[in-house]
């Protein structure tokens, strides 16, 4: 017997995951493009750019790993 509401939970979980990916990429690219930056006492734009690249790369890796996990 199928779980009650299983499809809805799966869809909502996927939408939450997708929203997190989109927000992470938006923030990462905004930091890379100097739209978002850090105050000078925290390193300024250069540290923000590095942090942006870290966010983008780790998000991309996590998406690939999630896809691999789903289909393996």
Task: Give tens-digit pLDDT for 37-67.
Answer: 999 999 999 999 999 999 999 999 999 999 9
Domain ranges of the chain: 7-71
Q: Say what the pTM is.
A: 0.85
Give percent above pLDDT 90 in the chain: 85
Q: How many residues does the chain have?
A: 72
Residue 2: what pLDDT?
56
Find all residues with CB under 8 Å of 45, minimum gap 6, and list them: 34, 37, 38
């Amino acid at each position: 017997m199928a779980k009650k509401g299983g499809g809805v939970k799966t869809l909502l979980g996927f939408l939450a995951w997708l929203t997190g990916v989109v927000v992470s990429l938006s923030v990462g690219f905004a930091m890379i493009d100097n739209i978002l930056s850090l105050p000078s006492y925290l390193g300024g734009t250069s540290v923000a750019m590095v942090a942006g690249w870290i966010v983008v790369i780790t998000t991309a890796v996590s998406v690939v790993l999630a896809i691999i996990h789903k289909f393996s």
